[in-house]
Structure 1
Amino acid sequence: MAETLSQIERDAVKNRAKELRAQEKAGKDRAAGLAAVEEAIAKLDGLDKELAAGVHRIVTETAPHLAPKTYYGFAAYANADGKVVCFFKPSSKFKVRYATFEFEAPAALDDGDMWPTAFALTALTPETEKRIADLVRKAAA
């Protein structure tokens, strides 16, 4: 029996196509990307919103050269080639118990034969903020 996409997955694909069309239209307009990220964060509630806003602040302060954009509706940050380096995935998106801060292939996090690319995030403490900043600094190098 063939697997089919869930409604959440179908919606994600449709939203991603819409994002790509909007990004193509906007070109390399940093202001449009920033507005899209701020809009995506504003749509979140509770802890997801707090965490996303904190991650956004940390990433933009730590790696201002990364361009904000949305990625499947998530707040994301891309390199000069437009490739997503990192993004915040809220827990509410897939109804899971924690949000994640994740890295894509362009992130320079390589460490031997195996390294983490996704981190569960439940609070922004001074320690987690420092760890996020360190990871972003390394990923965006």
Structure 2
Amino acid sequence: MATNPSTKDEKNLQQVLDKIETMDESVRGIMRRMHEVITAAAPELKPRIWYGMPGYAKSASSPVLVFFRKDELMTLGISEKAPLKPAGDHDGLLMPAAWYFEDLDEATERRVAEIVRSAVS
């Protein structure tokens, strides 16, 4: 049921929810859950559409820090505006910034929450 949002944040949230609802039925539930995990991990983030997909920023006018999308695979990513750090060890100076997933389980949800919290710190 569509609502008539009044604030910019509410309008942006509704656009994100609407975008998720247009995704293929086979992944729609997973993407809804991804939205829930992100917003629970960092409730201060504001959802909005970013390059046509759900993104999350500190405000409606600040850069997106976290996003997810569905192409061939589902992707969770952090943007270059998040505090990226080299992975170290065998990855040297590479900075992890994107993860592919096919489904969400408890362990994956915990890791997503960690990634989101690190992107807002």
Q: 1:122 aligned to 2:97?
A: no
Shift of 1:129: 0.3
Amino acid at match of 1:108: P
Between Structure 1 and Structure 2, which shows a larger proportion of helix residues?
Answer: 1
Amino acid at match of 1:71: W
Shift of 1:62: 0.8
Distance in structure 2 (CA, Å) of the matches to 1:48 and 1:72: 19
* Alignment counterpart, residue 71 of structure 1, candidates 23, 47, 50: 50
Give unmatched runs, 5+ long, in structure 2.
Answer: 1-6
Amino acid at match of 2:79: E
Instruction: Give the 4+ runs in structure 1 shifted more than 4 A.
Output: none
Distance in structure 1 (CA, Å) of the matches to 2:30 and 2:62: 24
Question: 2:113 matched to which residue of 1?
Answer: 133
When the two chains are superposed, the root-mean-square deviation of aligned CA atoms in Å is 1.5
- Identity among equivalent pairs (%): 28
Shift of 1:55: 1.1
Give unmatched runs, 5+ long, in structure 1.
Answer: 1-27
Distance in structure 1 (CA, Å) of the matches to 2:85 and 2:31: 25
**Matched residues, number:** 109
Amino acid at match of 1:72: Y
Question: 1:108 matched to which residue of 2?
Answer: 83
Q: TM-score, normalised by structure 1?
A: 0.71
Counting only pairs closer than 5 Å after superposition, residues 22-101 of structure 1 correspond to structure 2 as 29-80=8-59, 82-91=62-71, 96=72, 98-101=73-76
What secondary structure, in the 3-state scheme, does the structure 1 residue paired with 2:108 have?
Answer: helix
